[in-house]
Amino acid sequence: MHELAIATSLVESLLELVKKQSASKVLEVHLSVGKLRVLSIDQLKFSYEILSKGTALEGSLLDVEETPGYARCTNCHYAEKLEIDDLSFHFSLPQMTCPQCGANLILEGGDELLITRVRMLAPSDGSAVPTNELV
């Protein structure tokens, strides 16, 4: 269950950001997760909720946007959105060749996991402080 490991890393990074920003509470966390990461969003959210208990993250909204993967040909620049239903690629991506020229396709996106936005409360007046700082 690598969702727990990812949630642990996410919580640790967010707590560092809270400390750095001297925030009192995190209200929202927005993630961009590529579909090729093969994560269970429900398990990720569950792990995040459990790990955030008793911290400045407790009760915060974890919003996850799944992004598609794309493949591009290095030869003819053909590009295609990857729609893979067979999750066996989780262990290794198959060799992908261009349907137009036969050259190898390279992966462009779909495997990212990024914190895109965090909304926190400022310590002094309780006003919301959005940050786009990546951790």
- Output the pTM of the full model: 0.76
Which pLDDT score, from 0 to 100, does residue 135 have?
46
Q: Give the pLDDT confidence score for residue 4 in this predicted structure.
A: 95
Number of Cβ within 10 Å of residue 7's Cβ equals 23
Residues of the domain holding 115: 2-131
Question: In which band, very low, low, confident or very high, does the pLDDT at 75 lie, cut at 50, 70 and 90?
Answer: very high
CATH number reported for the structural domain that contains residue 62 in this entry = 3.30.2320.80
* Mean predicted confidence (pLDDT) in 17-28: 94
Question: What integer best gives the mean pLDDT of the chain?
Answer: 86
Torsion sign across C-alpha atoms 21, 124, 26, 28? negative
Strand (E) or helix (H) holding 31:
strand 25-34
> Is pLDDT at 133 greater than 60 in this prediction?
no
Number of domains the chain contains: 1
